[in-house]
Chains A and B, each alone.
Chain A
């Protein structure tokens, strides 16, 4: 089974802090994704990566950056956390080719910025 793990289930940070959310997958998937999930808005794509050191902006990249130094690890960085970044953050991975595009999700990190 594909396993996607995220470093924290719950995180509380102060406004202005730099925040790192880590994601690791164990199935050698090329693609990795970061979403935020908010009630009534569904899942919105922040950033994705299709290869090591490659990244592309999703639909809501403002205020975020990412890092992919190794194939299995994809980090989301909030350079200066703000209260409007309080949300559930989901990481996902998928095969680049040869599959149906199905994404496998981690358990999520619920981030509260005070």
Chain B
């Protein structure tokens, strides 16, 4: 069965530190990949997505992610985090087939940025 693994469950960083959150998926076919973010008390919202083309994807708020097909990975990065990046981050892969497409989510990574 398809799955998404996020190995970092809880990350604590100081402001200005660099961030990398790991995401690996198990799915042999064509993939669309997503990172969603949930700020405290807010909706889950899209941070960035990979559909095709350049494997280095840039999203909102200075985030980027690199799709490495050979490693089945889609790690999220930010060179310098801010206190406002404190949130929960979810990696997701879309599974095609059947009547419609479903997103498979990872278990999430809770990021706390200390001022």
Enumerate chain A interface residues (CB-CB to B < 8 A): 30-31, 33, 35, 40-45, 48, 50, 54, 56, 58, 90, 92, 94, 96, 100-103, 105-108
Contacts and interface: CB of A to CB of B under 8 A. Distances in A.
Contacts of A105: 36, 43-45
A36 B59 CA distance: 26
Q: Which bracket fits the contact residues of B?
A: 20 to 34
Interface in B89-111: 90, 94, 98-103, 105-108
B32 interface: yes
B9 interface: yes
The B interface is mostly helix, strand or loop, or mixed, namely loop
Please give me the 5 A-B residue pairs with the lowest Cβ-Cβ distance, nearest first.
A50-B100, A42-B107, A101-B94, A105-B44, A43-B105
Contacts, number: 56
A41 B36 CA distance: 15
A56 B99 contact: yes
Interface string B62-95: 0000000000000000000000000000100010
Contacts of B36: 105
A42 B99 contact: no
Contacts of A58: 102
Contact of A48 (B90, B102, B105): B102
Interface of B: 6, 9, 32, 34, 36, 42-46, 49, 51, 90, 94, 98-103, 105-108
A54 B99 contact: yes
Contacts of A103: 103
Nearest to A4: B43
Give the most central of B46, B100, B103: most A CB within 10 Å: B100
Contacts of B99: 50, 54, 56
B49 A40 contact: no
Contacts of B9: 40
B99 to A, nearest CB: 5
Nearest to B108: A42
A102 B92 CA distance: 10
